[in-house]
Structure formats: C-alpha cells, structure tokens
C-alpha cells in the first residue's frame, strides 16, 4: 500500500511528523543555538551556559516556558518545508534511479548522494525559516552577543524585506546548503542502512523499536557531519550587518570558519572558562556603581578573582549575592582623593578598570566635580605605575567627545578622534564635561611618561542605560532619567534626542580593552540616538498595564539643550565601528536598553526619591546539545512519520473498499 502514496502525500506526512517532533525537542534546539553563539570569537570569554541541563534550567528560570520554546513558529515552517522537501525529493530520487540503500556498496553511496541532492533543494526552500528560527532563539538572552529585535514572525519577514530586500532572506545560505546536504545524505542513508541491516541480520519484526534504534544511530552520524556547517550557518545568520548588507563579523562561511578556529579552536566546549589560581586578580574601582557592578559581575562569571573599591560597604553589599562572589574582595572606605588609598586593591593586579568618578546631570561646582575626577585619576594611575600594573581601562565619557555647543556642523560624524573644546566648556561652566575631559587628558599624559609600565585604553560611553543588578540599593543617575516616565511625575515628553548605550556593552568593552593589546586606543561607545518620543513608547510597552497611563504622550514645546553639534531634535551622527570590530561589541538597541532597565527597576522597587527599596566553546561548540536534540528529534520524526503513513494507508485502503 506504501506504493500508492504520492510524493505529495509523502511531503505532507513528513512535514507533519517533523512538526510533531520539533514541538518536543525545540527547547534543546534553543540550548544548542545559545551554546553555539555564547563567547563568540572570544578565546576565553565568560560562559553563561555550562551544559545542557544547566542551560535548560537557566533559560526556564530567566525566561520561563516561552524562553524554552523561542522560535517555535519559525521552527514549524522550517520543519514542514525542509523535512517535507527532503523526504519527498529523496523518495522520488530513489524511485527514479532505482536505489535500494544497504543492498550494495554502490547503492549505499548513491543513497548518500541522493540525500545530499534532496537536502540542497530543501535548504534553498527553507533558508528564510532557519534564519528566523536562529534569530528568535538567540533573542531575549543577554548571554548572546548580537540579537535581532524582531517582535513577531510576520514583522520579521516585513522588516527583512524592507531593509535588506530578497537577499536578506538568504543570508547564510552558503553554509546552510552544505549543512542540510550533509545532514540529509548521512541521516537518510544511515537510517535506511541501519534499518535494513537490523532487519536483515537481527531478523526482528519491523516496528517502533527498529525505527528508534536506527534513528539513534543516524543521529550520531548526522551530528558529527553537520555540526561545523550548523554553527557557521547560525553565526552568519545571527551576525549584525552594515546598511550595505555585508556582515560586520564575517564576510562569508570560509572567513567565519577561519576566525572560529583561530579564536575558539576545534573541539566543542560546554564548560565556562575557569581561571587558574595563578592568574592575577583584576581590580575594578567604583564597584558599587552602575557600570562598576556590571564589570564585577562579568569578571566573576569568567572565573576571575576580583577586587573592588567603594566608599561605603553598605552600598556594595549586594555584590556578595553575585555568582562567584567567593572570589570577590570588597575594600570599603576608599577615597579617590587620598593618595595611596588604592594600594591594597591594586597590588598584585595586572589589569585595572578605573570606573569610579562622580556623575551629576546638573548642579555641582568645579570644586565638586573637576577636582575629584582629575585628582582621583591621578591617584589611581600613580598607584598603577608604582605597583607595575600592565593594563588600565579608563572610563571617560562622550562628554569629552562632542560637547561643543554647536561649534561643529550638524552633519559632523563623531568618532573617537573628536574632543570637546576646553575653552567652551569653561565658558559655559559645564563642570561635569570639563571634569571628564581633563581627567582623560591627564591619563593620556601619564601613560606616555617615561617608565610607565601600563598600556592605557580609554572608553567613552554616552548616557548608560540597561538593567540594574538585583538588590542594587541606589538608582544610578542615568537610570533616574526614566523615572519620570514611569511614575507620572513627568507631564510632557522632552523634545530632544539622546545618545544612549547599554551597561552590559560598556562593561564588556572595558574587559575586552584590558584583556587585549589595545593600549593607546580610544573607543566611542554609543548604542543609539533615539528621540524621547520613541523612548516614552519603549517605556510604555515595558510597563504593566496599570502603569502605562503614567507615561506622558504630549511633546514639550521647548527644545532640549543643544550642547552637541546638531540642535535637537536631530540625532547625533557617530561611528562606533572600531568598538564593534576590535572589542567585539554588538550594541544593543535603545529599545532593548529601555526594556531591560524598566524591568529591573520594577523588580527592585523604584521610588521617585532615586532610592531603591528591593523586595525581600569552538567549532563543535554545542555539539552535545545538537546530538541530545537530534537523537530524539530523528526518532520522533521517523516514528511519527511511520504512524502517519500507516494511518494514511489504512484510510486509502478503507476508501478503496
């Protein structure tokens, strides 16, 4: 009766069987994708996922059931089109060429070639769905470098078509075709051969048990054959792209493979990089602050021993709840203005991240802002020089880059080569911006002095948004800029554009700058320049229904302060490609920053008083998850398919009678 099934029926039955299988195995597929993307191009980066079980638990805790089933709708489209084409075309080709897998060595080789051909066809048909599945599975996790902010399957199709054209749907095709071809040639042929050998030599009756064993054997072979192509395809599809369409990370599959082998090696890794006891500690000044706390968190996740300084032990107490805090030493009562105060924190460290500095939006005085910033930097760098520190990453600000009060034209593209004019800052009495400029100038001067042992890298982030850490007792100044949109105290939307960047990106940039040979370089860190009308909408979408009415909808009739080149509400033009290229930063969008910040503020129980009251890896990276996923997936697909075939045949037989 099987012969009465048309290839169209075989296509539909195979597609339905695959959809049933992926429903049960999609959580493992999500884990596989995350494992393949975490620590991208970082030979010794932090690894949030240390294994399949741990990854499943972490995702379920942080993202819930929805996180475990990310990309399921795209996966259904992928499976129906891909598996349907593979099985349908494979069956047709076997009949056309009279191939019987397992009958002879020639037929076995022929079945592999036919499987590769049918797989190539299936890849071309289903590439858009694999692209979307990979992006949706990567999204929602801070553990993956670049994420696409597609809100739904329908909107994703529309956005890709509008921004990138038809070509955008076929990114990664050059890796996806060999991936599916390899998988299909091995899967279908080894399944057929395994099943034929079991029936011939074991002499058992055909049934579910036979399909189960043959599928498990097929899964091992498939995983080994397709894994290199799979990880390359996922990374090509998930990487960010320039407006012209070319990838920012990889130019193609060969380049991707080359970079991965150089940075991550060949064998898969399911454990995070653990530092040995002989590795020197890192020092983070200002560890209780917004940026400093994230630097501490990321370093602990990488397995480093960390020392951090704070003026108040109470403010830094929440850091002790971070994973790995047994490797954290907090030195309290350390004053920026006291010479030698940082000796105990820095002694024996090879890398220092100097993030501590006063930050005020308005108010303050030259004495209150400029002196602590400049003298504090002098004290820290003197200590680094005296104690033989090798690398220093210094936090400056875009305040020292583009605060020129219209001295430059509106179409000027700001880069790390730009500096704010000191005379203009003094004239305008902009003491905060002046403090950043003078502190940075002092740092460059000291790093160039004869006998200076450390390489200096300067990071210039703009207004830092993004999530606060759980339990953080004080709202950072930049986060307070959103409170008025959340509690109803702000009645109109500011008519201005603001450059913003995510704290997670800035913290990573500091660590990468200190870890790599980037001494003497300056990096501009900006993740977006949204108008506050967009920011207000992002806040509204992130708030629960009861609080959405607090967000103002009326635009202020007054323009915001024009301290940069273009007068508001024009966005600032900037070039952050050096940070993307050399530091591996994939800047999160303004919407992603706002959503994460609002959620963390709600979790921590924000108050208008600006005070918080908290409620009491390599080429074969993810291969194990790929097999754990593919074994059950293959088994379920074949079992479901056989049952659907039987049901179909019974229906046809009954109709014939």
How confident is the model over 218-231, as pLDDT tens digits?
A: 777 777 777 888 88
Q: Does the structure show a pLDDT above 80 at 382?
A: yes
* Nearest residue to 500 via CA among 537, 527, 532, 534: 527
Judged by average pLDDT, the poorest of 34-48, 318-332, 366-380 is: 34-48
Q: What is the mean pLDDT of the chain?
A: 80
Q: What is the pLDDT of residue 272?
A: 33
Q: What is the pLDDT of residue 481?
A: 74
Q: Rounded mean pLDDT of 637-647? A: 75
Fold: same for 2-143+172-269+622-656 and 282-604: no
Name the band, by pLDDT with cuts 50, 70 and 90, for residue 107. Answer: low
Burial label for 547, CB within 10 Å (0-12, 13-18, 19+), is middle
What the block records as the tokens of 313 is 């032990």
Q: Rounded mean pLDDT of 355-369? A: 67
Q: Does the structure show a pLDDT above 80 at 238?
A: yes
Torsion angle, CA of 310/316/321/325, rounded to 10 degrees?
10
Output b/e per residue, 108-144; b: 16+ Cβ within 10 A: bebbbebbbbbbbbbbebbbbbbbbbbbbbbbbbebb
Domain boundaries, the chain: 2-143+172-269+622-656, 282-604
Please give the C-alpha separations between residue 601 and each of 168, 462, 541, 612, in angstroms, as whole numbers.
36, 20, 14, 8
- Give dist(CA 118, CA 430) in Å, integer: 67
* Nearest residue to 504 via CA among 543, 458, 469: 469
Please give the C-alpha separations between residue 271 and each of 44, 47, 277, 497, in angstroms, as whole numbers.
11, 7, 17, 42
* Nearest residue to 584 via CA among 275, 174, 293, 264: 264
- Give dist(CA 39, CA 547) in Å, integer: 37
Q: What is the pLDDT of residue 269?
A: 35
CATH code reported for the domain at 282-604: 3.40.50.720
- Give dist(CA 417, CA 210) in Å, integer: 67
Q: Is the dihedral of CA 55, 57, 61, 66 positive or negative?
A: positive
Long-range contacts of 365-369 (CB under 8 A, 24+ apart): 365/431, 366/429, 366/431, 366/434, 368/431, 369/431, 369/432, 369/434, 369/435
Q: What is the pLDDT of residue 179?
A: 83
The more confidently predicted of residues 11 and 582 is 582
Q: Does the structure show a pLDDT above 60 at 140?
A: yes
Q: Are 64 and 89 in contact (CB under 8 A)?
A: no
- Within its chain, how far is the Cα of 315 from the centroid? 29
Q: Rounded mean pLDDT of 1-19? A: 70
Percent of the chain with pLDDT over 70: 79
Judged by average pLDDT, the poorest of 48-57, 146-155, 380-389 is: 146-155
Q: Does the structure show a pLDDT above 70 at 532?
A: yes
Q: What is the pLDDT of residue 611?
A: 39
* Nearest residue to 592 via CA among 584, 600, 583: 600
Torsion angle, CA of 281/284/288/290, rounded to 10 degrees?
-130
Q: Rounded mean pLDDT of 348-360? A: 83
Q: What is the pLDDT of residue 483?
A: 82
Name the band, by pLDDT with cuts 50, 70 and 90, for residue 202. Answer: confident
| Residues paired with residue 525 on neighbouring β-strands, in sequence order | 461
Q: What is the pLDDT of residue 416?
A: 93
Q: Does the structure show a pLDDT above 60 at 293?
A: yes
Q: Does the structure show a pLDDT above 60 at 313?
A: yes
- Give dist(CA 341, CA 379) in Å, integer: 8
Percent of the chain with pLDDT over 90: 28
Q: Does the structure show a pLDDT above 60 at 338?
A: yes
C-alpha gyration radius of the chain:
29
The more confidently predicted of residues 281 and 572 is 281
Q: What is the pLDDT of residue 283?
A: 97
Q: Does the structure show a pLDDT above 80 at 461?
A: yes
Name the most confidently modeled range: 25-39, 154-168, 409-423, 464-478.
409-423
Judged by average pLDDT, the poorest of 26-30, 68-72, 108-112 is: 108-112
pLDDT in tens, 241-260: 655 556 667 788 888 888 77
Name the band, by pLDDT with cuts 50, 70 and 90, for residue 273. Answer: very low
pLDDT in tens, 578-625: 999 999 898 999 999 999 999 888 887 764 434 333 333 455 566 666
Q: Are 181 and 233 in contact (CB under 8 A)?
A: no
CATH architecture of 2-143+172-269+622-656: Alpha/alpha barrel (1.50)
Q: Does the structure show a pLDDT above 60 at 301?
A: yes
Q: What is the pLDDT of residue 635?
A: 66
Q: Does the structure show a pLDDT above 80 at 347?
A: yes
Q: At what angle do helices 173-197 and 623-656 cross, to 10 degrees?
A: 60
- Give dist(CA 607, CA 601) in Å, integer: 9
The more confidently predicted of residues 601 and 524 is 524
Q: Alpha helix (H) ranges present in 198-288?
A: 208-238, 253-264
Q: What is the pLDDT of residue 108?
A: 61
Name the band, by pLDDT with cuts 50, 70 and 90, for residue 287. Answer: very high
- Give dist(CA 506, CA 294) in Å, integer: 9
Q: Does the structure show a pLDDT above 60 at 326?
A: yes
pLDDT in tens, 67-87: 889 889 988 998 888 877 777
Name the band, by pLDDT with cuts 50, 70 and 90, for residue 1. Answer: very low
Q: What is the pLDDT of residue 40?
A: 66
């Amino acid at each position: 009766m099987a012969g009465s099934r048309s290839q169209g029926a075989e296509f539909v039955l195979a597609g339905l069987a695959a959809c049933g299988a992926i429903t049960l195995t999609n959580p493992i597929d999500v884990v596989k994708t995350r494992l393949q993307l975490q620590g991208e191009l970082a030979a010794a980066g932090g690894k949030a996922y240390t294994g399949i079980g741990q990854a499943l638990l972490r995702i379920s805790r942080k993202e819930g059931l929805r996180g475990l089933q990310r990309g399921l709708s795209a996966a259904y489209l992928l499976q129906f089109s891909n598996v349907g084409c593979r099985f349908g075309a494979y069956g047709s080709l076997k009949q056309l060429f009279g191939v019987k897998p397992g009958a002879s060595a020639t037929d076995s080789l022929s079945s592999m070639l036919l499987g590769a051909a049918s797989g190539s066809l299936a890849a071309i048909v289903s590439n858009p769905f694999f692209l979307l599945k990979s992006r949706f599975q990567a999204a929602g996790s801070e553990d993956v470098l670049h994420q696409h902010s597609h809100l739904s399957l329908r909107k994703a199709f529309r956005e890709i078509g509008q921004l990138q054209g038809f070509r955008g749907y076929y990114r990664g095709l050059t890796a996806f075709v060999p991936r599916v071809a390899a998988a299909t040639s091995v899967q279908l042929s080894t399944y057929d051969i395994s099943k034929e050998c079991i029936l011939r030599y074991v002499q058992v009756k055909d049934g579910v048990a036979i399909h189960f064993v043959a599928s498990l054997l097929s899964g091992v072979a498939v995983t080994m054959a397709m894994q290199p192509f799979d990880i390359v395809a996922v990374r090509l599809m998930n990487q960010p792209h320039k407006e012209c369409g070319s990838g920012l990370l990889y130019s193609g599959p060969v380049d991707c493979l080359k970079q991965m082998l150089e940075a991550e090696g060949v064998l898969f890794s399911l454990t995070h990089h653990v530092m040995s006891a002989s590795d020197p500690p890192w020092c983070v000044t200002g560890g209780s602050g917004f940026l400093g706390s994230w630097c501490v968190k990321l370093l602990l996740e990488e397995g480093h021993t960390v020392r951090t300084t704070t003026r108040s032990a109470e403010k830094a107490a929440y850091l002790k709840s971070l994973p790995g805090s047994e490797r954290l030493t907090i030195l309290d009562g350390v004053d920026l203005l006291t010479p030698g105060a940082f000796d105990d924190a820095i002694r024996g460290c090879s890398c220092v991240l100097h993030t501590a500095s006063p930050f005020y939006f308005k108010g303050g005085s030259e004495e209150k802002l400029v002196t602590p910033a400049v003298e504090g930097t002098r004290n820290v760098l003197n200590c680094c020089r005296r104690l033989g520190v090798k690398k220093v990453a210094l936090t400056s600000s875009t305040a020292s880059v583009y605060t020129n009060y219209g001295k430059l034209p509106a179409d000027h593209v700001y880069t790390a080569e730009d500096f704010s004019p000191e005379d203009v800052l003094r004239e305008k009495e902009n003491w905060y911006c002046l403090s950043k400029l003078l502190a940075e100038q002092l740092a460059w001067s000291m790093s160039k002095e004869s006998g200076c042992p450390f390489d200096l890298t300067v990071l210039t982030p703009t207004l830092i948004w993004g999530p606060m850490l759980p339990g953080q007792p004080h709202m950072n100044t930049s986060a307070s800029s959103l409170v008025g949109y959340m509690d109803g105290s702000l009645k109109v939307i500011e008519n201005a554009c603001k450059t913003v960047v995510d704290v997670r990106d800035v913290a990573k940039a500091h660590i990468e700058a200190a870890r790599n040979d980037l001494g003497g370089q300056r990096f501009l860190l900006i993740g977006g320049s949204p108008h506050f009308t967009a920011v207000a909408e992002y806040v509204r979408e992130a708030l629960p229904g009861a609080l959405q009415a607090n967000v103002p909808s009326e635009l202020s009739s007054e323009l915001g302060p024009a301290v940069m080149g273009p007068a508001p509400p024009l966005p600032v033009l900037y070039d952050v490609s050096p940070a993307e290229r050399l530091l591996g930063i994939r800047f999160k969008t303004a919407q992603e920053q706002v959503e994460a910040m609002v959620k963390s503020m709600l979790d921590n129980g924000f108050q208008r008083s600006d005070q918080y009251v908290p409620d009491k890896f390599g080429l074969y990276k993810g291969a194990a998850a790929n097999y754990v996923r593919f074994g059950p997936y293959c088994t379920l697909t074949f079992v479901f398919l056989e049952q659907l075939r039987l049901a179909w045949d019974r229906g046809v037989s009954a109709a014939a009678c």
